[in-house]
Amino acid sequence: MQFNRLISFSVILLGLALDPFNGYSQEQPFPWPEGKKMALSLSFDDARVTNPTLGTELLDRHGVKATFFLVPSAVRKNLESWKKATVSGHEMANHSIYHPCSGNFVWSRDKALDNYTMDQMRQELLQTNKEIQELLGVTPTVYAYPCGQTYIGRGETAQSFIPLISELFLAGRGWLDEAPVDPAYADMAHLTGMKMDNMSFEEILPLIQSASANGQWLVLAGHETNNSGNQTTYLSMLDKLAQYATDPANGIWIAPIGTIAEYVNEKRALMSANSNIPQTIVASPDGGLSLSAEKGKGSGPKIQYMPEWAAFGWFTAADQVSWEVDVPKKGIYTVYLDWSVSDEEAGHPYVFETNGKPIKGKIGKTGSWETFKRQAIGKVKLDAGLQKMIFKADPNFPIGGMLDLREITLVMER
């Protein structure tokens, strides 16, 4: 490998040390604002009567703002208190018109998700937003799934409405989940929501400490805000939690779900061009499969993801990149390689494997390490379904630089 190429790698590695967004992957700590260790959101469902009185009064004393998921009919029962809570800065969010859940709950049988259509769900979500805007002067940007359920229909007609929430809202929150949110990876339309009802602060504290240790976003979910009762977030717990979360020594950013979701999306956008986060490859609308370096999993003693070129660079025969690929249709696919290499380093042998079916060749010249070229390297016969694909060096690969791999594209023959 040429000397200037080695200098380029040194610059990249230095950049990784200096810039937290450069070369970001899920192993790197998420960059919370002002050096915070984690994020924390408090949320409450159903617009319970105690929320805009006992709940918001306590939170306001600590300067803490929460997210309240509203059913408009419940808001009307205590409208003036909800108006005050809105003015004080709490987030008002969408929890549907009728709180539909599975008909397995007898009380939800008349509005069972099992009988919903996607159009019906869309219209009710939009109507909820419209009514909350009319009542409180704000349009919700965040949604919570009633009962934590995300499917409509039943059996063969069942389908998730998470895509609809992704279309209409900044974020969607679940219920009774078992882990905090990974801000770099989580589906914003299906954030995990962890129970805080009927728990003491001592029971909640380990969740906070674990999220802090891992740089995560803990979204707590409750209902009533009172001193006792079923489905109640205890005021005594809230008081201790608010004191702990607002102590600067604990490094916690506590804010409504929408506020943190906006921040996470902004940081993801900044990091997306410089990140390598493995993901399952799905077909584009035309049926093509793009195995980009950003979505591949690099493994080996010296392989490097280089954000400057959005490519993986090779150093040893043990280095490789793999992808999990959901092949849409059985057929013959032409395979295209997008790569760069200096003329001096060109010619090393490679193998591209698709479920044990290899394409072998030698890396062609592109003119320089900074000049990328796209060229067909062969054809493969693939079955439909999930499968693993690997690009690697031939076992006889010598020491040096084989190529910079930016993308492998598979196009089905018509």
- Domain containing 260 — which CATH number? 3.20.20.370
User: Kind and range of the H or E element at 211?
Assistant: helix 201-213
pLDDT of 28: 61
Reading phi first (left if > 0) and then psi (alpha if -120 to 50, else beta), residue 205 is in alpha
Are 248 and 65 within 8 A, CB to CB? Answer: no
- Looking at the structure, do residues 103 and 141 belong to the same domain, yes or no? yes
* pLDDT at site 164: 98
349 within domain boundaries = yes
CA angle at residue 220 from 168 to 148, to 5 degrees? 50
Which residue range(s) make up the domain with 390?
3-22+274-412
pTM as predicted: 0.71
Residue 352 within a domain: yes
* pLDDT at residue 7, rounded to an integer: 34
How many domains does the chain contain in total? Answer: 2
d(CA 361, CA 4): 27
Do 294 and 159 fall within a single domain?
no
Say whether both 284 and 240 belong to one domain: no
Residue 286 CA, distance from chain mean position? 25
Between CA 130 and CA 83 the distance in angstroms is 16
pLDDT at residue 8 in the model: 37
Task: Quote the CA–CA distance of 398 and 330 in Å, as a whole number.
Answer: 36
User: 217, 250, 271: which is the final residue of a domain?
Assistant: 271
Considering the domain architecture, whether residues 113 and 180 belong to the same structural domain is answered as: yes
Would strands 91-94 and 67-70 be described as parallel, antiparallel, or unpaired? parallel
Quick one: tokens of 67?
């997210």
Considering the domain boundaries, does residue 90 fall inside one? yes
Phi then psi for residue 6, to 5 deg, are -65, -40
Tokens standing for residue 146 = 């009633």
Task: Classify residue 52: in a domain, yes or no.
Answer: yes
- Can you list the alpha helix ranges (DSSP code H) found in 247-349? 257-272
Q: What is the pLDDT of residue 154?
A: 94
Distance CA 92, CA 219 (A): 16
State the pLDDT at residue 285: 86
* 265 lies in the same domain as 336: no
Where a domain ends, among 218, 250, 271?
271
What pLDDT score does 157 carry? 92
Which residue spans within 149-269 are E strands per DSSP? 151-152, 159-160, 171-173, 194-195, 217-222, 224-226, 232-234, 252-254
Residue identified by tokens 């009927």 is: 198
The answer as to whether 46 is a domain residue is yes
Q: Are strands 297-299 and 373-382 parallel, antiparallel or unpaired?
A: unpaired
Integer angstrom CA distances of residue 146 from 98, 232, 310, 356: 9, 16, 41, 45
- Cα distance between residue 372 and residue 365, in whole Å: 10
Same structural domain, 283 and 150: no
Single-letter code of the amino acid located at 67 = T
Residue with token string 């810039």: 19
Give per-residue pLDDT as tens, 102-117: 999 999 999 999 999 9
Cβ–Cβ < 8 Å for 378, 361: yes
Of 153, 117, 120, 136, nearest to 71 by C-alpha is 136
What Å distances lie between residue 312 and 8, 155, 299, 376, CA to CA?
13, 43, 10, 19
How many residues are there in the chain? 414
From start to end of 166-238, where are the E strands? Answer: 171-173, 194-195, 217-222, 224-226, 232-234
Whether residue 28 lies inside any domain: the answer is: no
pLDDT digits (tens), the chain, 414 positions: 333 343 333 333 333 333 333 333 335 689 999 999 999 999 999 999 999 999 999 999 999 999 999 999 999 999 999 999 999 999 999 999 999 999 999 999 999 999 999 999 999 999 999 999 999 999 999 999 999 999 999 999 999 999 999 999 999 999 999 999 999 989 999 999 999 999 999 999 999 999 999 999 999 999 999 999 999 999 999 999 999 999 999 999 999 999 999 999 999 887 765 667 788 999 998 889 999 999 999 998 888 898 888 899 987 788 899 999 999 999 999 999 999 999 998 998 999 999 778 999 999 999 999 999 999 999 999 999 999 999 998 887 666 678 999 999 999 997
Beta 38-45 vs 252-254: how paired, if at all?
parallel
Cα separation, 302 vs 394, in Å, equals 16
* Residues 77, 10 within the same domain: no
Q: Give yes or no: residues 165 and 55 share one domain.
A: yes
Question: E-strand spans in 71-207?
Answer: 91-94, 142-144, 151-152, 159-160, 171-173, 194-195
Residue 183 lies in a domain: yes
Reduce the DSSP state of residue 66 to 3 states and report it. coil
H/E stretch holding 74: helix 72-76
